[in-house]
Amino acid sequence: MVINEKDKDSIMNITLTQKYQFSAAHRLHSDFLDTEQNIDLYDKCNNLNGHGHDYTLFVSVKGERDSKTGMIIPLEKFDAIVEETLEKLDYKHLDKEVEFFRKEISTSENIIQFLWQSLERDMEDVELYHLKLWETNNNYFELGRGE
């Protein structure tokens, strides 16, 4: 579709979403709770040895289309930025191997916050717009910018 010159100003930025996967282990445990409270709250996720997930992450960025390339960001560049962040988590025991989770409980709420902070820092030509993190087939977590 070709956009008329008079319509260009009324068009918002374009959003691009890519899907990624990574695997990680963690243990849900709060130092502010006693053993019984941790077990009651986190149940099997409080297993002393931890447990793992195969996460699916959708990353959305927003930007203006480059008139020379027709793209908002080259896909290889986008992939490289996301993969650099995911390398920090992939096949890691989060609580033991990732500094951020030595201070934060490795809930998916905190994982998505970690992802946002890391990705946002590395995005230059586009704006990080939305993340969707699937932890299981039954639950996912979202973080994004409001309109």
62-98 pLDDT per residue, tens: 999 999 999 999 999 999 999 999 999 999 999 999 9
Residue 129 in 3-state DSSP?
strand
Read off the pLDDT band of 125 (50, 70, 90). Answer: confident
pLDDT of residue 2 exceeding 70, the answer is: no
CA distance 84 to 101: 18
At residue 10 the predicted structure's pLDDT band, cuts being 50, 70 and 90, is very low
The candidate with the shortest Cα–Cα distance to 132, out of 57, 81, 78, 79, is 57
CA–CA distance, 41 with 33 (Å, rounded to integer): 9
DSSP letter at 10 equals G
Homologous superfamily of the 13-23+54-144 domain (CATH)? 6-pyruvoyl tetrahydropterin synthase/QueD (3.30.479.10)
Tell me which H or E stretch contains 71.
none
Q: 3-class DSSP state for residue 109?
A: helix
47-58: average pLDDT: 96
Angle between helix axes 75-87 and 108-122 (nearest 10 degrees) is 130
Q: Residue 51: helix, strand or coil by DSSP? A: strand
